[in-house]
Amino acid sequence: MPDISTLALFAVATLAILVVPGPAVLFIVTRSVAQGRAAGMVSVLGVHAGSLVHVAAAALGISALLAASATAFTIVKFAGVAYLLFLGVRKLLSKPAEEEAVEFPVQSRRRMFWEGFVVNVLNPKTAIFFLAFLPNFTSPETGPIGPQILLLGAIWVVLGLASDGVVALASSALAGRMRRSIKARRRLDVGSGVIYIGLAALLTGEKA
């Protein structure tokens, strides 16, 4: 297994990467602002459940296959793009609620969890990232590579839950202001739709 100094270095590098806004962070921010703290935290759990899939894939060598196969990469890439486009268009086409409906429509926690899960799992950039990042902190001399990647992945997920949890809590502080009027709610829907479609465009621009 990696020694303490290697794990400490990995933790610092992981935190540095996690604070950089990416598709998962923007998804969490959007959910937190739109539906409040609970929605944000459930989205965080869904996103990092998706991270576990990528960690397991890296440990088993599936990410290596994905990186080597342009066809597999393209299929997963555009599946993620299609999902984000669906979310974006749905938001843009949604109509503002009547004045008496002050609160945002409430989605089930299960649905919020799985949306976060799918957004992260269908992001091939995350799979390639784990493939490129995690092995740099492993060494064949310290034991089998698979268990080392699983350990590093577990550290990533724990740190991700903590950092993204803070993001969700901070973002949800804006929810009250955004709920005060129909116009504000409509602006939020449009903003959310633009974010989703922007993420889809970002993924489309990624090179296989």
Query: For the residues 172-189, what does the mean pLDDT come to?
Result: 60
The confidence band for 170, taking pLDDT boundaries of 50, 70 and 90, is confident
Which pLDDT score, from 0 to 100, does residue 49 have? 94
Read off the pLDDT of residues 12-64 as tens digits, 9 standing for 90 and up.
888 877 776 667 777 888 788 777 788 889 999 999 999 999 898 888 875 56
Averaged pLDDT, 66-82: 65
| pLDDT computed for residue 189 by the predictor | 67
Beta carbons of 175 and 34 less than 8 angstroms apart = yes
Alpha helices in the chain (DSSP H): 4-18, 23-35, 37-60, 62-68, 70-93, 109-121, 124-133, 145-172, 175-178, 182-205
Letter for the amino acid at 206? Answer: E
Return mean pLDDT, the chain: 75
Contacts of 2 (CB under 8 A, 6+ apart): 10, 137, 138, 139, 142, 148, 151, 152
CB distance 118 to 19 below 8 Å: no
Answer for the pair 193, 88: CB distance below 8 angstroms, yes or no: yes
- Supply the pTM of this predicted model: 0.66
Domain boundary assignment for the chain: 4-205
| Inter-helix orientation angle 124-133/37-60, to 10° | 60
pLDDT at residue 73 tops 60: no
- 139 exposed, middle or buried (CB, 10 Å; 0-12, 13-18, 19+)? middle
